[in-house]
Amino acid sequence: MKKIIFIIMAALILLTPNMVMACIPGGVCPTISIPDVEVGMQEEVTVPITIKYVNDLGAYDIWLHYGQNVEVVAIEEADLFIVHNVVDRIVRICGWDTCGISGDVVLANITLKPVGCGTVSSDGTEPSGTSILDIEVVGFWDTSGKAIGHVVEDGVFTIIETIKGDVDLDKEITIVDALLIAQYLVGNGELENKQLINADISNDGVVSIVDAMLIAQSLV
């Protein structure tokens, strides 16, 4: 009798409309994510909200929550049609595709800039310039209207202290900083994210030999 009841319940679950399609154990689960970012004051950064491993995505209602240290500058659609709005520190994005989308897609590109400073908090535990970038999935459906199982990977927005021109991070600006840029541009070295931010002294979003020149000029 218990076996019969179990079979009936299982059948009802499978036939229930709008049920969540669970991730297959050991398989690949649709993933909605936004990356961690580091940015200096007066800088802007564009980050994608991506959807990976999805199959037959028909409609989506996704919210991005962010903190007091972040300002949204722009929101641009990428691979998907979206309607968006920003209310109470929440970027609300929704849209649909009548034919269904499969694979890896970029939902939207969001340009952010810091508000505040990247100093250490009073107890010394974490930067006061750190903010949440938390994704809330209000709804995620296939073209038949069934909810799609998924996982979420949130990000962190961190404001870092920068000294423009200080590429070697020694808190001084010397000809060595210009040299490091030149070496980086010809492939003779790598620069970390904070170094790249400091190296972009022209504030055009690109590290170029012009930045090395400007550093050298400032030393004359």
**How does pLDDT run across 5-34, given as a tens digit for each residue?**
434 334 433 433 344 445 655 568 999 999
Q: Does the residue 192 lie in any domain?
A: yes
Both 56 and 121 in a single domain?
Answer: yes
CB 132 within 8 A of CB 59: no
pLDDT value of position 178: 94
Range of the domain at 204: 175-218
SS3 192: coil
Give the residue, 3 or 10, on which the prediction is more confident: 3
Q: Does the residue 28 lie in any domain?
A: yes
Both 26 and 55 in a single domain?
Answer: yes
Please report which residue ranges of 77-218 form alpha helices under DSSP H: 175-185, 193-199, 209-218
Q: pTM for this structure?
A: 0.69
Q: Does the residue 213 lie in any domain?
A: yes
Q: What confidence tens digit (pLDDT) does each residue in 123-167 have?
A: 444 445 789 999 999 999 999 999 999 999 999 998 887 788 999
Nearest to 49 by CA among 95, 2, 117: 95
CA gap 63, 132 in Å, rounded: 13
pLDDT value of position 25: 53
CATH number at residue 62: 2.60.40.680
Both 58 and 99 in a single domain?
Answer: yes
Give the residue, 147 or 42, on which the prediction is more confident: 147
What is the number of structural domains in the chain? 2
CA gap 189, 213 in Å, rounded: 18
pLDDT value of position 130: 86
Both 151 and 200 in a single domain?
Answer: no
Consecutive H or E run containing 138: strand 130-142
Both 113 and 147 in a single domain?
Answer: yes
CA gap 165, 39 in Å, rounded: 15
pLDDT value of position 16: 37
Listed range (82-86, 124-128, 214-218) with the worst mean pLDDT: 124-128
Both 35 and 72 in a single domain?
Answer: yes
Q: Does the residue 105 lie in any domain?
A: yes
Give how far the C-alpha of residue 198 lies from the chain's centroid of Cα atoms, to the nearest Å: 21
Q: Does the residue 166 lie in any domain?
A: no
Q: Does the residue 111 lie in any domain?
A: yes
Both 121 and 198 in a single domain?
Answer: no
CA gap 177, 173 in Å, rounded: 7
Contacting residues for 4 by C-beta, under 8 A, at least 6 apart? none
Both 202 and 147 in a single domain?
Answer: no
- The C-alpha angle 139, 145, 148, rounded to 5 degrees, equals 50
Q: Does the residue 11 lie in any domain?
A: no
Q: What confidence tens digit (pLDDT) does each residue in 108-120 have?
A: 999 999 886 544 4
pLDDT value of position 126: 41
CA gap 63, 48 in Å, rounded: 13
- On the question of pLDDT at 209 being above 70, the answer is yes
pLDDT value of position 127: 47
Both 77 and 140 in a single domain?
Answer: yes
Looking at residues 195-211, what average pLDDT do you find? 89
